[in-house]
Amino acid sequence: MESFAYRSQVDEVQQEPSQISDAGGLRFSKKLCSKRMKFMFVVLLMAIMITILVVVLAVVLTRHQVPPQPYSSSSARLNGESSNCTQPPTLENGGVRHRFPMYFVNEDVPYTCTSGYKLVGSNTSVCDKSGLWRWKYQQKAPECKKICSAPPTLKQGTIQDQPPPVYLQSDRVQYQCNEGFHLDQSNSVTCQVNGSWTWETGHPPMCLKGCADPPLVRYATLINSTDQNRPFIAGDTVKYTCNDGYNFTHGHYVTCLSNGTWQGEGNKAPRCLQDIRPKSCLELLGAGYSQSKVYKIYPFGGAGFDIYCDQDTDDGGWDVIQRRLDGNQDFYLGWNNYVIGFGDPNDDYWIGLENIHRITTASPHELRIDLGDFLSLTRFAKYRYFQINSAATNYSLSVGGFSGNAGDGLRRLNGRPFSTYDRDNDGSSNTHCAVKYGGAWWYAACFSGASNLNGEYLRGAHDNKGGVAWLPWRSNYSLKTASMKIRRQSIV
């Protein structure tokens, strides 16, 4: 009953406290209420205090246990010690490890760089009381420098200095070559802002094998074309000059190769030979002048004359007395021209009947005729005996002892005098052979079955004219090349 009343009273109190009239019931109710309120207040207070403690602890922990990711902002940061220190200086390709709205005075604010960059200079900024930021540990402001890949390697070379733990942008690396090798150019490479390396000259240097001193050449003096203060390296060329009274036979230069050896022009070592006044190409050959070219010969002493020496064909030593190469020279010329000779010894020419006569009568000579067509086929005719007789015989031909694969195109002309368009000695009463066949030769009622090597340069197949003809090989065809060459008979 009481408990019921109590409950009803409490209900009443709760519903309508102002209408409670029972004094005892009211006292009881007031006492109960204050006890419960006190308890709840303490619990609330403790909860608040715990929350504050947790927050403070969290803040302290986040401030002092540095999380790995930079730039994380903490909104839960206390700013009770407010200061004039707002934001610390910024840093390109990096920044402060943690960004906060405000910073404490004298608080260490560490900096870091984004990945791929390395921090150089002070790593910490501190704000002083007046709100100014200064750098700690070092005066120097930090810089985030690009970390470079490994510098390029150089074959037969190494990097000059001890390498650092990492290479950074604008680092410069220099190379040196291994023993016996030498750099061919400037050797430095610099790391760019983008982390890649570029060579000072735009392309990598090379370590080239050095060459020893250039070879000594007898009777020659060296003219060095390279800087004397550095060793000879591949590509270097030195020039020689023959001493007075000596002439080159081979190249004037030698070049240092990448395998450390010297190579002469045309793969031949330079050679100086004593200058001589040769009587013939054969004599030049004997003295070592083994290159086929134009030389001056002095078969009768005196001033001498230029002649092409064939030092290659058939053991060399051939005086070339007639040559057709390209039709550059007109061969339809008169008697006097054929007597004294004409043309260019480097090209098409005729050495002259008088010269041939004097040479071939002074000592026995052999004759070789080399022929070529426009398909690059070649043939030759060789005569063991060849002589041109005196002007009194009109330079008649004496020839014999044929061999070769071109056929004998002279046998039928043996003993014939020479004819030109202005000196008709061809033995034909009704034909002027030199005129008809456009040449000058030892015509015998013209040249049927024989030859006409001084004929008109007609370039290959033709109909009814002379042309540069050697009929035993090809008829109705004007040859591309023809050359007549003589050499003193060897005494067997």
Ligand X SMILES: *[C@@H]1O[C@H](CO)[C@@H](O)[C@H](O)[C@H]1NC(C)=O
Residues of this chain that bind ligand X (CB under 6 A): 82-84, 110, 123-124, 130-131, 137, 192, 194, 196, 198, 213, 222, 224, 228, 247, 257, 259, 261, 275-276, 289, 295-296, 393-394, 417, 423, 425, 463-464, 475-476
Q: Residue 401: which region, alpha, beta or left (left: phi > 0; alpha: psi -120 to 50)?
A: left
Query: Shortest gap between Cβ of 63 and ligand X (angstroms)?
Result: 15
Nearer residue to ligand X within complex by CB, 3 or 464 = 464
Query: Shortest gap between Cβ of 59 and ligand X (angstroms)?
Result: 19
Nearer residue to ligand X within complex by CB, 316 or 404 = 316
Query: Shortest gap between Cβ of 202 and ligand X (angstroms)?
Result: 9
Nearer residue to ligand X within complex by CB, 188 or 475 = 475
Nearer residue to ligand X within complex by CB, 224 or 243 = 224
Q: Return all residues near 208 (Cβ < 8 A) that are at least 6 apart.
A: 181, 182, 183, 184, 233, 234, 235, 258
Cα–Cα distance, 441 to 416 (Å, whole number): 9
Nearer residue to ligand X within complex by CB, 314 or 424 = 424
Residue 33, token pair as written in the block: 């209420």
Residue 149: C-alpha distances to residues 152, 175, 204, 221 (Å): 9, 17, 17, 51
Q: Residue 335: which region, alpha, beta or left (left: phi > 0; alpha: psi -120 to 50)?
A: alpha
Query: Shortest gap between Cβ of 141 and ligand X (angstroms)?
Result: 14
Give 134's strand partners: 126
Given a contact cutoff of 8 angstroms between Cβ atoms, the answer to whether 434 and 420 are in contact is yes
Query: Shortest gap between Cβ of 39 and ligand X (angstroms)?
Result: 42
Helices (H), 415-484: 433-436
Query: Shortest gap between Cβ of 107 and ligand X (angstroms)?
Result: 13
Residue 197 CA, distance from chain mean position: 21
Phi–psi pair at 411, nearest 5 degrees: -50, -45
Nearer residue to ligand X within complex by CB, 13 or 273 = 273
Closest CA to 287 of 274, 301, 298: 274
Query: Shortest gap between Cβ of 278 and ligand X (angstroms)?
Result: 6
- 153 burial type by CB count under 10 A (0-12 exposed, 13-18 middle, 19+ buried): exposed
Given a contact cutoff of 8 angstroms between Cβ atoms, the answer to whether 440 and 418 are in contact is yes
Nearer residue to ligand X within complex by CB, 386 or 477 = 477
Nearer residue to ligand X within complex by CB, 51 or 72 = 72
Nearer residue to ligand X within complex by CB, 157 or 278 = 278
Given a contact cutoff of 8 angstroms between Cβ atoms, the answer to whether 98 and 74 are in contact is yes
Cα–Cα distance, 167 to 164 (Å, whole number): 6
Query: Shortest gap between Cβ of 431 and ligand X (angstroms)?
Result: 12
Query: Shortest gap between Cβ of 20 and ligand X (angstroms)?
Result: 57
Nearer residue to ligand X within complex by CB, 297 or 399 = 297
Q: Write the DSSP symbol of residue 235.
A: T
Nearer residue to ligand X within complex by CB, 178 or 475 = 475
Beta strand 342-343 with 318-324: parallel, antiparallel or unpaired?
A: unpaired
Query: Shortest gap between Cβ of 287 and ligand X (angstroms)?
Result: 7
Helix H or strand E segment including 6: helix 2-15
Given a contact cutoff of 8 angstroms between Cβ atoms, the answer to whether 74 and 59 are in contact is yes
Helix H or strand E segment including 460: strand 460-461
Cα–Cα distance, 371 to 381 (Å, whole number): 8
Given a contact cutoff of 8 angstroms between Cβ atoms, the answer to whether 71 and 95 are in contact is yes
Query: Shortest gap between Cβ of 19 and ligand X (angstroms)?
Result: 59
Query: Shortest gap between Cβ of 314 and ligand X (angstroms)?
Result: 22
Closest CA to 137 of 125, 149, 128: 125
Cα–Cα distance, 470 to 453 (Å, whole number): 7
Residue 167, token pair as written in the block: 């290479």
Nearer residue to ligand X within complex by CB, 213 or 326 = 213
